[in-house]
Amino acid sequence: MYSREINGDEFTFGVSGKLIRNTLVMYDRQTNSLWGQILGRAIEGPLTGTELEYVPAVHLTWSAWREQHPDTLALIKGYTGNYDSYTGYYSSGSAGVIGETFCDNRLYTKEFVIGVAGESEAVAYPFSVLNQETVVNDSIGGQDVLVVFSTDSGAGIVFDRSVDGASYTFIENGDAHSLTRRPVPFGMQQAVRPQMGR
């Protein structure tokens, strides 16, 4: 999710109808610059090179959301019931509308991941791994991070695991809403990194 504020001005965005590597290309209505959805950066037009600011967001099931926010209303456009015309596309092994240009067999097609980008390194934590290891202590580009995943809701969140100059390793304690921390020497990585995409 991105903020629509750029250099102090609020922008509005639309769908350009174009794709880059099978992902949406947006345009802004103020300058008609084109923006790559995954890149979060203008790729053509007056704002080329400008980056959008990330906004924290949670990805989870509708039932889990409703449990936490029971008064939420959702807009349904163009049809009634629960029909989603893209259901077959989501579950297929198809690599997208225009096929693959680059192939990477470390993850299966359309694998959901939690992506974390540091200053010099980025890591993808696949849901298939997080379903087995729901608490991951890691270091990315010198920053200690904690990835926590809920197998029930499909929601994940990433924290900085350094507190007051000390780095902690976190473990599950059997409570669905809390973790236990163990102090470790600052900068020392205690956990073994799962096999994930880099």
Residue 144 is assigned to a structural domain of this protein: yes
pLDDT at 98: 66
Residue 61 is assigned to a structural domain of this protein: no
∠ CA 48-96-93, nearest 5°, is: 145
Cβ within 8 Å of residue 42, ≥6 positions away: 28, 33, 34, 35, 48, 49, 50, 51
Residue 101 is assigned to a structural domain of this protein: no
Average pLDDT, consecutive stretches of 10 residues, N- to C-terminus, the chain (198 residues)? 95 92 90 93 96 84 86 77 66 69 78 85 92 92 90 86 87 67 40 40
Residue 62 is assigned to a structural domain of this protein: no
pLDDT at 119: 80
The domain total for the chain is 2
pLDDT at 5: 97
Residue 53 is assigned to a structural domain of this protein: no
Give, in order, the Cα–Cα distances in Å from 16 to each of 32, 43, 47, 98, 128. Answer: 10, 13, 16, 16, 32
Q: Of 192, 146, 150, whose CA–CA distance to 59 is shortest?
A: 150
Q: Which residue segment(s) compose the domain that 17 sits in?
A: 5-44
pLDDT at 80: 61
Residue 64 is assigned to a structural domain of this protein: no
pLDDT at 83: 63
Residue 133 is assigned to a structural domain of this protein: yes
Distance, in Å, from the CA atom of 128 to the CA atom of 148, rounded to the nearest integer, reads 14
**Global pTM value:** 0.71
Instruction: Give the alpha-carbon dihedral of 65, 67, 68, 74, to 10 degrees.
Output: 50
Distance, in Å, from the CA atom of 37 to the CA atom of 47, rounded to the nearest integer, reads 15
Residue 89 is assigned to a structural domain of this protein: no
| Assigned token pair, 159 | 């924290």
